[in-house]
Structure 1
Amino acid sequence: MENISSSQLPQSIYGSTSKETTTKLPSSQYQSTECILYGSITNLEKGQFIERLKGLCDPGGPVAFFEHNMVFKLKTGTDSPVQVQMRRRFKTDNLHWHCRYIAIPETAVKDVIVRKVIDSLIYSNDMMSFVKSLGLRL
């Protein structure tokens, strides 16, 4: 694991930035953190906000794509907060699936919703039987 000083992290996401503490980030490439920020903007700020979003996204405008996306939950007696998403492209390479495990949101009080995600690639010609063997339901 890589040590990062907490003073290098934004306080709004990671909490306190006191100099005595350090935060360990996972060194593995398949696990990451997803942050979701909800909010509202006024109509006066809408144009500037859209320009900022365009700056964060790939240039060149919209690109046509065709995807198949399925969302599964674990088979339990109650509604499971853990999700597994399976996604593939229709037109090309339809045996390769992108699998994303999404954990429950972390309970710490933060300005954004933070939850762990694990991404992996799966090659399968019968994804539904694989998913059922994992104990997932649509």
Structure 2
Amino acid sequence: MIEYNNFVKNIRIDKIKLKKLLVDTIDNDEEISKKNVPLSVNLVYTANNYELKDNKLCINVNFSVETKDECQNIVFKINFIYKIEYVLKNIKLSDVGEENIENFININVPINIWPYAREIISSITTRMGYSPLIIEPYTIG
């Protein structure tokens, strides 16, 4: 089995695809956007579904965003799935090991996919008629 650092040095993003996008809004959302009501945001991120094929690591990354007004009423929800594909150079996936893959998914994948998630959340909320919902950059720890 190869060391984690060697694994990370030899893996590259090949493709990032938006696989699914669902948006739900409530009926009085126009009033909320006009009043500029502060919203609480719950963002859930999961990346626990992956497959290995043809020396590629393919990971489905799920995001769920739920916003509520000050009365805790749901204002809108955004759910989407990105598929991120990595390709290995100079090493074989069979030599990587399950622990290295799990560490990579927990450490590196969020760093790689987070800018895409931030952009789609901001863009979609704007297209829904709200001020752009700005998600903080991803930080480790």
Q: Quick check: TM above 0.5?
A: no
Indicate the structure whose relative CO is greater, using CA pairs within 8 Å and at least 6 residues apart. 2
Question: Rg bigger for which structure?
Answer: 1
TM-score, normalised relative to structure 1? 0.31
Structure with more of its chain in strand, by fraction: 2
TM-score, normalised relative to structure 2? 0.31
